[in-house]
Amino acid sequence: MKAAVFSFTQAGTELACRVAACLRDDGWDVRQASLKKFAVTQESVVPFTPNLHDETARAFRDARLVVFVGAVGIAVRTIAPFIRHKDLDPGVLVIDEKGQFVIPILSGHIGGANDMARFLADELQAQAVITTATDVNDLFAVDEWAARRGLRLSSLEDAKAFAAAMLEKGTVGLYSDFPLHGSLPPGLVYAFHGDAGLVITTKAHVPVFRTTVVARPVIVHIGIGCRKGTAAKEIAYWVNAVLQRANLSPDAIADVSSIDVKKDEAGLLAFARSQHWPIRFFTADELNAVPGDFTASEFVKKTVGTDNVCERAAVRASKSGTLIVTKQARRGITVAVACERYQVEW
């Protein structure tokens, strides 16, 4: 992960060096920049190249964290032209040059700025200044949690409505298709219906709450077999049909997979690319080694060396998870779906 640390005074640059060291110790790849007259006094600091505006543009393009050591006003004016959307922007922090306060000013939840503010405040013996409503009320922040755990939310508008309901009512419901590990966060209660709540599922539709934010773990794997020369649109039609019949959301898809003899199959590659899904290929020996009871075909075995491609590939990709959709065939295309074993962590 990349971070950028900017400073504007001698004292600020000295503190920025401490901040950069803390981040590097935490595994960050840090670019530290300052005015040229301060940069020359510190080996790890580069001058703004060619200026602060361009440094910030680079940081918003490449980094997940931007730290300003200086005044909040400088940071606000500097980042203003580059702010896009809360699920795209990096976390942005401001630290005063005496190291008294660490203030997240952008992407507190999804960008992780709130957590990084607490981390750096602890390292610097400073005070984190957190202003997001759920945090100051000690309530569950669904967008921060989903980003940290790698779940996909139905939408940020849904997350906003969920947070508003939690702030208004104090508690909201929780429904999960998966086992829960640990105590529930503040503001969540188990429920199967109600005005507002969080649903954790891989399904496309779960009508539980009137106001719902859905969080989907990316744990569903699609196995595909196809005849040579099958068009991408034919594969897309059948995969979408299988997902709809099974009430599975595309947001839960981790990847697609097949046998390695299909690694140059243009239609299959184009389909995966159009969906922005990674594609994996396994050898016949790898597929044959997958334990389980699969829909066998002697013709397929004679052709490619394994008795089933789609089911075995899906289960193999899911790390020996559960086959939730068995082989579905249409016009030379076979599709199966497997799901990883999963439990909800807070």
Residue-range domains of the chain with CATH = 2-131 (3.40.50.11220), 150-217 (3.40.1390), 220-341 (3.30.420.180)
- Taking the C-alpha atoms of residue 70 and residue 46, their distance in angstroms, rounded to an integer, is 17
In the sheet that holds 188-190, the strands lie side by side as: 151-153, 209-217, 194-200, 172-176, 188-190
Classify 56 in phi/psi space as left (phi over 0), alpha (psi -120 to 50) or beta: alpha
pLDDT of residue 86: 84
Residue type, 154: S
pLDDT of residue 101: 98
- Taking the C-alpha atoms of residue 114 and residue 91, their distance in angstroms, rounded to an integer, is 8
The packing angle between helices 10-25 and 113-124, to 10°, is: 110
In the 8-state DSSP scheme, what is residue 115?
A: H
pLDDT, tens digit only, all 346 positions of the chain? 999 999 999 999 999 999 999 999 999 999 999 999 998 878 899 999 999 999 999 999 999 999 999 999 999 999 999 999 888 999 999 999 999 999 999 999 989 999 999 999 999 999 999 999 888 888 899 999 999 999 999 999 999 999 999 999 999 999 999 999 999 999 999 999 999 999 999 999 999 999 999 999 999 999 999 999 999 999 999 999 999 999 999 999 999 999 999 999 999 999 999 999 999 999 999 999 999 999 999 999 999 999 999 999 999 999 999 999 999 999 999 999 999 999 999 9
Q: State the residue for tokens 């670019």.
A: 31
Which H or E run includes 223? strand 220-226
Phi first, then psi, for residue 198 (nearest 5°) are: -105, 135
Residues paired with 338 in a beta bridge:
221, 323
pLDDT of residue 314: 98
Cα R_g (the chain), whole angstroms = 25
Which H or E run includes 213? strand 209-217
Torsion angle in degrees (nearest 10) through CA of 77, 81, 82, 83: 80
**Token pair belonging to 295:** 């829909």
- Taking the C-alpha atoms of residue 91 and residue 106, their distance in angstroms, rounded to an integer, is 6
Q: State the residue for tokens 């795209």.
A: 88
**Token pair belonging to 115:** 């957590």
- Taking the C-alpha atoms of residue 280 and residue 255, their distance in angstroms, rounded to an integer, is 7
